[in-house]
Amino acid sequence: MQIAYPYLAMEVGSAFASGWTWFKTKVTDFGRCWKKLGKDDPRRVIHSLKVGVAIALVSIFYYYQPLYENFGVSAMWAVMTVVVVFEFSVGATLGKGLNRGVATLVAGALGVGAHHLAKLSGSVGEPTLLGFFVFLQAAITTFMRFFPKIKARYDYGLLIFILTFSLVSVSGFREDEILELAHRRLTTIIIGASACVIISILFFPVWAGEDLHNLIALNMEKLGNFSQGFADEYFRASEEDEASSSKDEKSFLEDYKSVLNSKNAEESLANFARWEPGHGQFRFRHPWKQYLKVGTLTRQCAYRIEALYGYLNADVKASLEVRSKIQEVCTKISTESGKALKELSIAVKNMRQSSSSDIHIENAKTAAKNLNSLLKSDPWEDNVDLLQVIPVVTVASLLIDLVNCIEELADSIYELASNAHFKKLDPTVSPEKPSATVKSPPKDDWHHVVINIDEAPTPAIREEENSSAPNTSIVKYIQV
Amino acid sequence: MQIAYPYLAMEVGSAFASGWTWFKTKVTDFGRCWKKLGKDDPRRVIHSLKVGVAIALVSIFYYYQPLYENFGVSAMWAVMTVVVVFEFSVGATLGKGLNRGVATLVAGALGVGAHHLAKLSGSVGEPTLLGFFVFLQAAITTFMRFFPKIKARYDYGLLIFILTFSLVSVSGFREDEILELAHRRLTTIIIGASACVIISILFFPVWAGEDLHNLIALNMEKLGNFSQGFADEYFRASEEDEASSSKDEKSFLEDYKSVLNSKNAEESLANFARWEPGHGQFRFRHPWKQYLKVGTLTRQCAYRIEALYGYLNADVKASLEVRSKIQEVCTKISTESGKALKELSIAVKNMRQSSSSDIHIENAKTAAKNLNSLLKSDPWEDNVDLLQVIPVVTVASLLIDLVNCIEELADSIYELASNAHFKKLDPTVSPEKPSATVKSPPKDDWHHVVINIDEAPTPAIREEENSSAPNTSIVKYIQV
């Protein structure tokens, strides 16, 4: 047994050491997680500090003697309101604050009424009637929370309605200063909600509307990046080539996946945005609903891209020989689609009516037509069996489909531009873009137009563009 | 002017009449809306009644003298807890109740500690220190709410933590019976939460787990319906034929669209389900996460189907002659895929390990191979230009792609079946399905196998199947 001790000590020691290592890695992992979360969106850190300040401020109401004497225990409601109402974006905070305020007011009034009515029915009938009222309003209001439209905007208000009505009508039985109580509750709630709204608007405001605006633009940009990079990746000459491109370089080809599931995020942002006052470039009644329409059509494009993505990683690709026949024209469609998407993204982002996307769409459509005639001439001339051709033809067909989708998307963005009064791009302001307003230039001008747009972008455009995307391939393009 | 009176009266009258009509239609619309909402899911009505009963019950705590004397104003917390915690499903209610209870306990203890610590620093330091504590915990906890994993499960708990800590630490300055207050608050919250949980479990419980289970099965069924109906719709002989099929008949072809955006619903149901105790066929630690995996793969199939759907309504379809060449084999793939999806759906729904979906997948794969060889032989023999062939070939290719997707989906369901201990289908129990356990039957048996499965389904299968789907086309199938 004596011999066993050192072993035991060693074992305990090593267990302790490995436990310590485990603990250290956990802590560093956790720390890295926090850092990443803050770095991804520094507004999160600011929001957390803002909430801390707001709660600490409102606690003063509950803390200092003079205020305490005025509001009594009701001051508690101010603290509560701040905790519950303060949301990340101004719109969500405003929506919750207004919901809470209005619901408290209405439910308070109805509760006092119910209490008064019940009192008339004598000491036996009163509790029965009150219980019935509470049951009835709770059941009806809970059912109303199932209506999708009501749920989206007034869910929190209905919750507070049930809460306040129950508390006021039942507690009224206790205290005769029921009106006094309701009044104090409302005042403290208004104080709490105002503190939230003021702090949330004055210090580094996060506007849901702006977030929605940027999200919609970003999603289109992601799809544009994919489109621009797709052809290059698909028509890569050999497998070795493929291996040589690092995974990092390819990661932008998977960015589009987040677009597939962005519906809920867009819808809740649009709901919040509708509560927000005018800010920055957005008026009070900015057409947020139109953004949802644009978002839906963007997702339609993303579904096509999802199908295309499957062919990037297909186990068996068509042979290089088969692919090369339609490489140029497919590259043209893909690149032009990508450029169109990026132009649309920039137009939305900068809130400018721009027709430069039209040129790219026209180019893509003409290339699609060329692809059609190319296929009509049967470029493979029976040298290759149809089986080899199928995936290539499918990719071509999906690309053509994508162009149609993008055209629809562009239409919805024109609608948005006119509803939201996007600024018109003055051709004299950017003389280096003489053909930016030409809707469909003569074919001979393509080369010229495209080079012009490519070589003299606005600074915003340059920032937007992913430098790894094959921007220059278009210059080499020879009309098919 | 006198002449004008009758006109005015008439105008007022007609305005009143039209106003009344407007009001009447609004009211009937509203009523119809309510009725539809209740009919779509009668559990909504039951839930509303349950909430009403729970709130009315708990109001007794606030109402009757003896209880009031025991709990004082704190009884209010019980009403509040019920209003806030009672959710549609058991899992959500349990999760919120546990979050609220645990957060109150922990935050209450920490709040008392903070209050004690602050007291030591004298009358000047106390408010500063308390304010600092409140600020610090609010900021840190708010930031923690941004972690996606924490947000999914503990968001409400963190909110209540901030609330309770602030109230207890600050209000402690007022009352010296701070422990008494914290104790009463905790007791009333436990009473309220227990009332919610008990009512929610005992009377017509709505299990989030069951909902998730059914949603996953239903989504696969919807895709199956599309697959079974697709070929029939796509290869319809003529335009007149198309017009003759009413819109109602076609509506099942659009059901799949809801699958595209079901990610959020699935994720929140899975989060709720993890709080639920064992119920029905589900144990406590049922592998809910695996359902999410199945759901993701189902959506992958749905994206393929979205691409196929585009070809149903394409402006220019390939000519009938072109389509007819591959009609039979495409119909085979489509129908077998649909059957496989439906078998998978039934297997999940009934929690049975079934291999009958394998047969359909094998059939679909063999048909895909046949399609490949058919295309290799170039069935159109240069009579038709490639342009006509493209959409047909693309549809064929997407169908082949869909089969691969379904195979992956089936694999994830096998994993689910083994994790969740699905019952094994005893071959002796259903002697009419002799080949149900055969993984890939000899080709000559196809006809036999398929007819057997088709003609002798379990009652559950018959219910599941959409009778408008072309179930019989497979019988007519002649091997290509």
Mean pLDDT of chain A: 76
CA dihedral A432, A435, A437, A439 (to 10 degrees): -160
Q: Which helix (H) or strand (E) holds B52?
A: helix B43-63
Task: Please report the pLDDT score of residue B216 as a whole number.
Answer: 92
Instruction: Using CB atoms, pick whichever of B45, B299, B394 lies closest to residue A394.
Output: B394
Task: Please report the pLDDT score of residue A234 as a whole number.
Answer: 82
What is the token pair recorded at A447?
A: 């080369």
CB pair distance less than 8 Å for B397 and A391? yes
CB pair distance less than 8 Å for A80 and B47? no
In order along its 480 residues, chain B shows pLDDT tens digits of 444 556 666 677 777 888 888 888 888 888 888 888 888 888 899 999 999 999 988 887 777 755 555 556 677 788 888 999 999 999 999 999 999 999 989 998 888 888 888 878 877 778 888 888 999 999 999 999 998 888 888 999 999 999 988 888 877 655 566 777 777 788 888 888 988 999 989 988 999 989 999 999 999 999 998 988 888 888 775 555 555 555 555 677 788 888 888 888 999 999 999 888 888 888 878 888 899 999 999 998 898 888 888 887 765 566 777 777 788 888 888 888 998 899 899 888 888 887 788 888 888 888 888 887 777 776 666 656 666 777 777 888 888 888 888 988 988 988 888 888 888 765 444 433 333 333 333 333 333 323 233 333 333 333 333 333 333 222 222 222
Q: Residue A214: pLDDT above 80?
A: yes
pLDDT level of residue A30 (50, 70, 90 thresholds): confident
Q: How far is A420 from chain B (nearest CA, A)?
A: 28
Task: Please report the pLDDT score of residue A280 as a whole number.
Answer: 80
**What contacts A111, CB < 8 A, 6 or more positions away?**
A164, A165, A166, A167, A168, A169, A172, A182
Task: Please report the pLDDT score of residue A230 as a whole number.
Answer: 86
CB pair distance less than 8 Å for A163 and B83? yes
Q: Residue A184: pLDDT above 70?
A: yes
Q: Which residues of B touch A167 (CB under 8 A)?
A: 62, 76, 79-80
CB pair distance less than 8 Å for B130 and A59? yes
Whether the CB-CB separation of B150 and B144 falls below 8 Å is answered with: yes
Rounded Cα gap, residues B31 and B246, in angstroms? 29
pLDDT digits (tens, 9 = 90+) for A413-455: 888 888 888 887 654 444 333 333 333 333 333 333 332 333 3
CB pair distance less than 8 Å for B134 and A390? no
pLDDT level of residue A397 (50, 70, 90 thresholds): confident
What is the token pair recorded at A335?
A: 């690149």
CB pair distance less than 8 Å for A375 and B398? no
Task: Please report the pLDDT score of residue A176 as a whole number.
Answer: 61
pLDDT digits (tens, 9 = 90+) for A369-396: 888 777 777 666 655 666 677 778 788 8
What is the token pair recorded at A435?
A: 């053909």
pLDDT digits (tens, 9 = 90+) for A95-140: 999 999 999 899 988 888 888 888 788 777 788 888 889 999 999 9
pLDDT digits (tens, 9 = 90+) for A131-168: 889 999 999 999 999 988 888 889 999 999 999 888 88
CB pair distance less than 8 Å for B52 and A80? no
pLDDT digits (tens, 9 = 90+) for A305-338: 888 888 877 655 667 777 777 888 888 888 889 9
Task: Please report the pLDDT score of residue B183 as a whole number.
Answer: 79
Give the torsion sign (CA, B296, B301, B303, B309).
Answer: negative
pLDDT digits (tens, 9 = 90+) for A81-95: 899 999 999 999 999
Q: How far is A442 from chain B (nearest CA, A)?
A: 26
Task: Please report the pLDDT score of residue A6 as a whole number.
Answer: 60
Q: Which residues of B touch A147 (CB under 8 A)?
A: 33, 37
Mean pLDDT of chain B: 77
Matching residue, tokens 């002659």: B321
Q: What is the pTM of this model?
A: 0.78
Q: ipTM of the predicted structure?
A: 0.78
Give the residue-averaged pLDDT of A15-28. Answer: 83
Q: Which residues of A touch B306 (CB under 8 A)?
A: 303
Residue B4, exposed/middle/buried by CB under 10 A (0-12, 13-18, 19+)? exposed
What is the token pair recorded at A417?
A: 């531009």
Q: Residue A33: pLDDT above 90?
A: no
Q: Which residues of B touch A299 (CB under 8 A)?
A: 260
